[in-house]
Amino acid sequence: MATVSRAKTDINEETLKAAFSKCTQQYDDKYGAGIFNKNVTLTQDETKEINKLLEKAKKAHELLKSQESLFSKFEKILDQRRAKLGTLNENRYILDDSKAMDVTKELVGVIPAIRVPTRVKHIYAWGNVIDSVREELNDYEKGLAKGRLAKPFGKEIKELYRFVNETGK
């Protein structure tokens, strides 16, 4: 796995903090929480910085995937599982095992699961965060996020920023 190093990025941290704050703060209106297009509106600069963050996170994630020899085996098994069962509750059936040395198939009751080393599960989880932020931002930019809670999105922005800094990308 890649060595973790802290690096400065060309992402405007203050702009991301402003977006995070808008999304996660408590509001004194009838909603109480941040709701997209009600009391939370992102500026063009904020969406631009979030897009930059996503690009950097995607590159860092691709690098981690390429450096983890078991990840391609995991993806192959995961694709087979998805073809049969779809993605509903998928995360529950990817079993994190710190002692695992390989990716293996097994059953949880009658449901197929995949046992993976912790490092593989972490790479998988970061991919889910990246996808979630990208989908929410795309929906926001298309006007489809109206009425959705902004707090989970804000928290994921913060996590992605930490991920990018820790991977040094």
What tens digit of pLDDT does each residue of 78-89 get?
999 999 999 888
pLDDT reported for residue 2: 40
- The residue assigned the tokens 């209106």 is 29
What tens digit of pLDDT does each residue of 103-129 get?
999 999 999 999 999 999 999 999 999
Residue 165, domain member (yes or no): yes
Residue 140, domain member (yes or no): no
Output the six-digit token pair for 93.
Answer: 């059936």
Helix (H, G, I), strand (E, B) or coil at 65: helix
Task: Give the total number of structural domains in the chain.
Answer: 1
Residue 127, domain member (yes or no): no
Residue 91, domain member (yes or no): no
Residue 41, domain member (yes or no): yes
pTM attached to this predicted model: 0.88
Output the six-digit token pair for 148.
Answer: 């959705």
How far from the centroid of its chain's Cα atoms is residue 39's Cα? 24
Pick the closest to residue 100 from 87, 84, 116, 86 (CA basis): 116
What tens digit of pLDDT does each residue of 2-54 get?
433 444 568 999 999 999 999 999 998 888 889 998 899 999 999 999 999 99
Residue 98, domain member (yes or no): no
CA dist 41 and 22 (Å) reads 8
Residue 153, domain member (yes or no): yes
Answer yes or no: is pLDDT of 165 > 90. yes
Q: How many CB atoms lie within 10 A of CB 158?
A: 15
- Identify the domain containing residue 152 by its residue range: 13-67+145-169
Residue 83, domain member (yes or no): no
